[in-house]
Structure 1
Amino acid sequence: MHKTIFIAQEGPANALALNKDYSRVVIAGRNVFKIFLIEEDEFVEFCNLRVGKNLNLNFSCNDVAWNSIDDHILATAATNGAVVVWNLNRPSRSKQEHVFIEHNRTVNKVSFNPVEPTWLISGSQDGTMRTFDLRTKTATNVFHSNTESVRDVQFNPNCHALFASVSENGNVQTWDMRKPDKCVLQFTAHSGPIFACDWHPESLWLATASRDKTIKVWDMSSSKPTMEQTINTIASVGRVKWRPQHKYHIASVALVVDCSVNVWDIRRPYIPYVAFTNHKDVATGIAWRGDPNVCLTTSRDCTLYQHVFKDATYPAAQVNPHALAVSPQGHIAFACKVTPSTVKGSKIQGILRRTTTSSEEFWQVSSTLNFLECTRNKDMNWLIQFAERYVLTGKPLGEICDHNSAVALSLGRFAVGMMWSMIKTLYAQDEEDGLNLSFPPIEEPMQSRSEETRLPKSSLKENGKSRSVESNSTDNKYRRKSNSDELEDSVGDFFFGDAEMDPLSMEFEINHLDGLITQDWTLQPEAFQLRQEIQDRSSPPEQFHDHDSPDGMEEEVSRINEKWKGLSVAETLVPKMWDEKYSVVSALKQHGTNGDVQTAVCILIALPPVRRQALLNLIDLHDQEVWLLAYISLLNQHQLFTHANEIIKLAWIPEVNQLNQQSTTVNISCNQCNKVIPQGTRLCGNCSSSVTCSVCHQVVDGAYVWCQGCMHGGHLLHMQTWLSKNTLCPAGCGHACEYT
């Protein structure tokens, strides 16, 4: 029975590899190169390969590979560009067999051919791949990828002459060892550098891992690869490895940020199927130990772990299967879990039916996504209704806000209605009452006390006793007077006695109250007579200093001075009131940003000038002008010219307020065809008739006046003379013309 075990090392390992019977594991890094026996409960160190007199860069490893047939042969990729072969059967202490110095830069990956144990391939930072023959100890072929660097090379387990390589430019290449001059296939798989790849042990799938935080599965069975699935992760992926005996499972480790080892089901790529969270730093290598439920990993935290599935965490079991989201447009999307339906059959079918595994149950769990679209009336009818029904001036602010809020609520614009209600709450009462709410200044009692303690000691000695007596007598007078006033003014529903008191019929006089005040109201110490006298055997009271004596008063004053010696108040603490202007301005800007310039403009117009100016000081002048011009433009587009002119007159910006006084044009229509006569001419462009006077029948070139009823007119002087003597139109149409 496998268990989760680990061992710590003196340095981090960059890679690991297992022998063919999975009983030993080798880890390699810049400062560590060891072989461990995998026992049932622990790792036992078998051999330390980092020994010798000259520990050069050949011992600094980026990758390590164990020959799958010859159990005593290992190969490492060194950071100095060397490919080193190690023989564990060497009798000497150093197990180094041969060093291939063919690459110019760091070697990133080494891999043995799964069928031919003497074939070794390497990928380097210099952009080349080289194959080596361990029998002749020579480099046989060179493959130029025409890229900056090769990060990983892997032999195809289904065709031992083919291998795949990935590079930092995001390209994937497949090569045939018999044709080193040109790659068989090349395509771009990722938008960033690819750090690792792995062939599927059962099918022609190739998994690639990239810095773009994705794992992609490619179908390489045809000349044009197709992407089968994409797994999105939270960090750049450094290593991937297919899980044996599970077609759809693949393990991955991150390059940064994520310290867990995740096993994914490519059919459910959104959440890991299993996660191992034992490492405290990012993992650097992963290998399966033959058993699909056991894997080994190395990490930058200088540990080697053996993980078992029974101790893993299942993220899907901790995820809420239900979700809800609301878009800014009001659309609602919600997901809910759907349990796979089980078909009930006969007992024989139930016996013969194969039980589903945990992996299949994970894949079968499904959820449904429902979408509710908020259908809104996209026409601008509400804008027209607001413009026609809003009240902006002529009434108190409270009535204006109530009316406009009711209009907004009746048209379904609840946010606008709440905005008007908020304006009423903040400003309407202040405007009606004319109140200026502010806190009274806070007195400083500590200052008066400190001044009293700073009095000369002699004055305290002389006046201390007389002042206390005087204050006592004053207090008694005040207390006596207040008690009498209280009894005189008090009116109650009943009094403590045998009968009720009528407050309207009974009258009190001061003389009667004097007798009540002087009466002894002391209660008896006991409710019944004691059988024997209680003797007081308590200890006598302590002897205190006489505070009225000069010595006692002097000690008291000195003690008070010492107590308040270091206490000082820099300034009066006044509670800070909430300033509503910033909240109102933020709400107005929100309406303006959402395109509802009508609400922002109308609220600013309805506010009193003082309140409006306080808000405008916090709003950029450009934004104010944009809101006004946009609202006026909307009104003109909907042919609400009267309302647009009203907004122009009520505008607080002079440039906007003068719009209706600039570029005003009056069009003249032809009295024959009613077409508009172009500016600068008296000739109609439609019927070629000119504007003539109905009295003198001459072309009018000057002041022209016409009747709005029959459209006939003429020279101003001629029409005045005619209408002073006649009431009907001079053109003979029979209309009774009226001029104002």
Structure 2
Amino acid sequence: MTTFSVTQEGPVNALALNKDNTQVAIGGRNVFKVYNIEEDSFKEICNLRASKHLNLSFSCNDVAWSSNDDNYLATAATNGHVCVWNLTKMGKAMQEQVYQEHKRTVNKVNFHVSEPYRLISGSQDGTMRYFDLRCKAAVAIFYSNTESVRDVQFSPHQPYMFAAVSENGSVQLWDVRKTEKCMQQFAAHSGPVFACDWHPEVAWLATASRDKSIKVWDLTSKPTLDYTIHTIASIGYVKWRPQRKYHIASCALVVDCSINIWDVRRPYIPFASFNEHKDITSRVVWRGDPQTFLSTSRDCTLYQHSFKDASRPATKANPQSVSLNKQGTVLYANRQHGSSSNSSVKSTSIMRKSSNTVVSDQFHLASSSLQSFHSKVANDNSSFGVIAKNYVLSDLPFWELCERNAAVAKECGKSNVSILWKIVRTMYADEYCQSSINNASLQRDDLGVQNNIEGDNNKTKGYDTPQFCSGDDETENEDQVDHVNAYYDFSATSKFGLPKGDFSFGENELDLELDSLSIDYRNGIRNSGHLIQQEDWHLPNEAFNVRHEILDRSPPPEQFSNHSPDLNDETQLSIEDQTPCFITINKLPKKPIWDPSNIVVDTLKHYAMIGDVQTAACILTVLGDHRKSLKSLDEPTQEHWLLGYIELLCRSKLWNQAAQIIKLSWIQNINTLNQQSTRINTSCSQCLKPLHRIGWLCDRCHSSEYSLCSLCHQVVKGLYSWCQGCSHGGHILHMQQWFLGNKVCPTGCGHMCEYR
């Protein structure tokens, strides 16, 4: 058998085979044909829409072929008619019977398994009609009491029983001899049931629904759910595979165009798939052979499929998996190479005639080994709560927040997080701010700052105190003096715990981070954007006094080839007049600005990636205005971290800490969370039903006692305090006084209430 197809004039909705599986009838809105099935093609033998007397009866929702007579077809029409066709006649006479019993569209028709003149139909009007082809009208009417009947199927195991599935998700079992009431009815799905099919060997009924599931019910006695298959889309049709007890075919209503063959014992992945159709598949029917079946689709094609051409999704499934539980245990399953699954299949095929058949009916076997890993960091749930409760995120200076949180992290055994807090403090509280301000003032090209390094007489231990000179007016610079002292005074930096410089000159230690220079503001400094006085910096030529005059002097500058004659006389000073010699610095080199924002962003992303979103969210919160420098960290990522931390806090029942994060948030979507779902519904103290409406009356027991104080028995009009366990309460002051000396509910219900 090979796979082949034929194209039609329009979408095909219905499909049926004759009893010998040699002819196929297809139907649709614009299609109604009968084909003979050849070796590798379909041969058209009858086009019923070729008649001159076309009407809505030729528009088919479903078609059924008599199980005993190849000359009779039945169709379900969109106009509510049930038509019986005799293929031995020609023209208009082919419509041997037209039953106009239903008021709305007929969804399904089905012939009796053993009696060729018995026919059942299900309609959108919620009724089922039982026909005898020898009669002009329906012999019985069954009312489902539902909006519509989607499918009806005669049972192959009991001759008088048929099953009907409805729009409301229920399944009904009827006896054709009793029209008053169904034998059994049960809710099978949470959505409309679109199709059902009886198993040919056992008393199983498969149902397919909009709720994306296929269910197998054992109807031997009381309906019992044996198997459930969850799919990716709503299922529109199912059909059991012959000679394979656990195999069933399905096609979807939307999204998925494939025909999937399922093994109900392994419901998580299809046993085989056929992907020839380009649009939604409407019907599937087996040719009596488990290796061949036919299908129709909205893509206007009729296909015959050979099972050897099927794809096996299980062979493409990843045998590796990983799972993480709340305790931090990681389970990892990886492929076990050299498994014996293939060898078992080969050994089985030796005892069969055809190895291909055996291989095609074997579900893909894969062996995996399971490994377990335990993470001490992830398993330490207690440290999360301790850190969350003891972290301070606001109302203190930045450096103090970092110091306190570093100490908390260290106490909880998180040394890396403690060091990270100290690094952030150093970057943003001291060094980075100081470097940024210094370099910002040095980057103006039209202005300069000259510092004079004097002798030991002008040096003090630490840094020289800045002195601003602005001519006659010295008072206007007092604010600038205080501002500069905040960044240059060594006592201020000592408060933050910064180390001193690595170099010392005699007894005076200078911090190299400030260029190891004592700044003499009397000689010159920029004030309010203007240069007050500009002089060159002079450094002593030697670190010791000259003992005698150097006689061998260097030649004058005029003798050098690179000497510029344009220099003025004041600049060309003779070396004899320079006693002692000085090195002239015409321009102070700029100190490069170091921006740590990229390193901070990478560090926070690292902690978030390893699962420590607490550290990332807390550092972001403490940074405050410094977050503006983290330009490479977008707002959605920050929001994701904060929401993740809030969720973890809520899981740990740390409501106060979660509320604090929401309050301190700078993102509007998070900052407004505490304004949502703030309503708390109490419960009735009599029947414990939640009270959803405003008022003093319970909807269930109509009691108003829950609004009375348990101590004074008066209506509570102010603040109301109640126990969430027993729902008893009263005035907040009365409850407070009661629980100062009692632990049991004041009503005498015996509940151990907890007052907070």
Listed as ranges, the matches of 1:381-530 within 5 Å are 383=386, 404=406, 408=410, 411-412=413-414, 414=416, 417-418=419-420, 421-422=423-424, 424-425=426-427, 428-435=430-437
* TM-score, normalised by the number of residues in structure 1: 0.57
Alignment counterpart, residue 228 of structure 2, candidates 227, 230, 235: 230
Mapped partners of 1:48, 1:292: distance in 2: 29
AA aligned opposite 2:166? S
Identity %: 47
Listed as ranges, the matches of 1:197-208 within 5 Å are 197-208=196-207
Deviations, residues 46-94 of structure 1 (Å, cap 9, x unaligned): 1111133332111111000011110010000001111000000014465
1:359 CA displacement: 5.9
Q: Answer whether contact 1:405 1:421 (CA < 8 A) is retained.
A: no
Q: Answer whether contact 1:416 1:599 (CA < 8 A) is retained.
A: no
1:291 CA displacement: 1.5
Deviations, residues 579-613 of structure 1 (Å, cap 9, x unaligned): 7799699999999x999599839973xx7x97599
Mapped partners of 2:273, 2:555: distance in 1: 90
CA distance 1:120–1:440, shift in 2 (3 Å): farther
Mapped partners of 1:138, 1:248: distance in 2: 40
Equivalent in the alignment of 1:552: none
Mapped partners of 1:399, 1:364: distance in 2: 58
The reply to whether residue 600 of structure 1 matches residue 618 of structure 2 is yes
Q: The residue matched to 1:160 in structure 2 has which SS?
A: coil
Mapped partners of 1:247, 1:9: distance in 2: 34
Equivalent in the alignment of 1:138: 137
AA aligned opposite 1:28? G
Mapped partners of 2:286, 2:348: distance in 1: 36
CA distance 1:380–1:109, shift in 2 (3 Å): same
Mapped partners of 2:121, 2:219: distance in 1: 22
Deviates further, 380-389 or 172-181: 380-389
Q: Answer whether contact 1:154 1:163 (CA < 8 A) is retained.
A: yes
Equivalent in the alignment of 1:221: 220
Equivalent in the alignment of 1:730: none
CA distance 1:410–1:13, shift in 2 (3 Å): same
1:294 CA displacement: 1.1
Q: The residue matched to 1:158 in structure 2 has which SS?
A: coil
Mapped partners of 1:111, 1:77: distance in 2: 10
Deviations, residues 262-315 of structure 1 (Å, cap 9, x unaligned): 001111100111111111111011111112111111111111111111211111
Equivalent in the alignment of 1:20: 19
Listed as ranges, the matches of 1:331-730 within 5 Å are 331-337=329-335, 357-358=358-359, 361-362=362-363, 365=366, 372=373, 374=375, 376-379=379-382, 383=386, 404=406, 408=410, 411-412=413-414, 414=416, 417-418=419-420, 421-422=423-424, 424-425=426-427, 428-435=430-437, 600=618, 604=622, 611=626
Mapped partners of 2:90, 2:150: distance in 1: 34
CA distance 1:382–1:598, shift in 2 (3 Å): farther
* TM-score, normalised by the number of residues in structure 2: 0.56
Mapped partners of 1:410, 1:420: distance in 2: 16
Q: The residue matched to 2:159 in structure 1 has which SS?
A: strand
Deviations, residues 534-564 of structure 1 (Å, cap 9, x unaligned): xxxxxxxxxxxxxxxxxxxxxxxxxxxxxxx
Gaps of 5+ in 1: 443-504, 516-576, 638-740
AA aligned opposite 1:145? S
Equivalent in the alignment of 1:290: 288
Q: The residue matched to 1:175 in structure 2 has which SS?
A: strand
Equivalent in the alignment of 1:65: 64
Q: Answer whether contact 1:150 1:168 (CA < 8 A) is retained.
A: yes
Equivalent in the alignment of 2:247: 249
AA aligned opposite 1:4? T
Q: The residue matched to 2:75 in structure 1 has which SS?
A: strand
Q: The residue matched to 1:58 in structure 2 has which SS?
A: helix
Mapped partners of 1:388, 1:176: distance in 2: 72
Q: Answer whether contact 1:268 1:363 (CA < 8 A) is retained.
A: no
CA distance 1:288–1:417, shift in 2 (3 Å): farther
Residues matched between the structures, number:
496
CA distance 1:409–1:159, shift in 2 (3 Å): same
CA distance 1:226–1:401, shift in 2 (3 Å): same
Gaps of 5+ in 2: 446-551, 563-594, 657-756
1:22 CA displacement: 1.2
1:423 CA displacement: 5.6
AA aligned opposite 1:111? N
The reply to whether residue 265 of structure 1 matches residue 263 of structure 2 is yes
AA aligned opposite 2:618? A
Q: Answer whether contact 1:322 1:334 (CA < 8 A) is retained.
A: yes
Mapped partners of 2:113, 2:239: distance in 1: 16
AA aligned opposite 2:58? F
1:135 CA displacement: 2.1
Q: The residue matched to 2:49 in structure 1 has which SS?
A: coil
Equivalent in the alignment of 2:49: 50
Mapped partners of 2:352, 2:324: distance in 1: 43
Mapped partners of 1:59, 1:599: distance in 2: 68
Q: The residue matched to 1:316 in structure 2 has which SS?
A: helix
AA aligned opposite 1:70? D
AA aligned opposite 1:247? K
AA aligned opposite 2:172? Q
Q: Answer whether contact 1:259 1:283 (CA < 8 A) is retained.
A: yes
The reply to whether residue 82 of structure 1 matches residue 81 of structure 2 is yes
Equivalent in the alignment of 1:162: 161
Q: Answer whether contact 1:401 1:424 (CA < 8 A) is retained.
A: no
Q: Answer whether contact 2:74 2:83 (CA < 8 A) is retained.
A: yes
Mapped partners of 2:60, 2:119: distance in 1: 16
CA distance 1:349–1:163, shift in 2 (3 Å): closer
Mapped partners of 2:193, 2:444: distance in 1: 71
CA distance 1:146–1:95, shift in 2 (3 Å): same
1:41 CA displacement: 2.0
CA distance 1:421–1:140, shift in 2 (3 Å): farther
Deviates further, 60-69 or 373-382: 373-382
AA aligned opposite 2:363? F
Q: Answer whether contact 2:405 2:421 (CA < 8 A) is retained.
A: no
AA aligned opposite 1:100? Y
Q: Answer whether contact 1:7 1:303 (CA < 8 A) is retained.
A: yes
Mapped partners of 2:415, 2:204: distance in 1: 56
1:40 CA displacement: 1.7
AA aligned opposite 2:95? Q
Mapped partners of 2:305, 2:628: distance in 1: 70
Deviations, residues 484-530 of structure 1 (Å, cap 9, x unaligned): xxxxxxxxxxxxxxxxxxxxx99999798759xxxxxxxxxxxxxxx
Mapped partners of 1:118, 1:218: distance in 2: 29
Q: Answer whether contact 1:81 1:104 (CA < 8 A) is retained.
A: yes
Mapped partners of 1:13, 1:506: distance in 2: 111
CA distance 1:300–1:414, shift in 2 (3 Å): farther
Deviates further, 374-383 or 78-87: 374-383
Equivalent in the alignment of 2:173: 174
Q: Answer whether contact 2:105 2:124 (CA < 8 A) is retained.
A: yes
Q: Answer whether contact 2:205 2:216 (CA < 8 A) is retained.
A: yes
1:198 CA displacement: 0.3
1:211 CA displacement: 0.1
Mapped partners of 1:586, 1:598: distance in 2: 5
Q: Answer whether contact 1:406 1:417 (CA < 8 A) is retained.
A: no
Mapped partners of 2:560, 2:342: distance in 1: 97
AA aligned opposite 2:78? T
Q: CA RMSD in A?
A: 5.0
Q: The residue matched to 2:363 in structure 1 has which SS?
A: helix
Q: Answer whether contact 1:121 1:131 (CA < 8 A) is retained.
A: yes
Mapped partners of 2:342, 2:76: distance in 1: 56
Mapped partners of 1:123, 1:9: distance in 2: 27
CA distance 1:226–1:610, shift in 2 (3 Å): closer
Q: Answer whether contact 1:420 1:603 (CA < 8 A) is retained.
A: no
Deviations, residues 307-356 of structure 1 (Å, cap 9, x unaligned): 111211111111111112446764423334568768999xx999769989
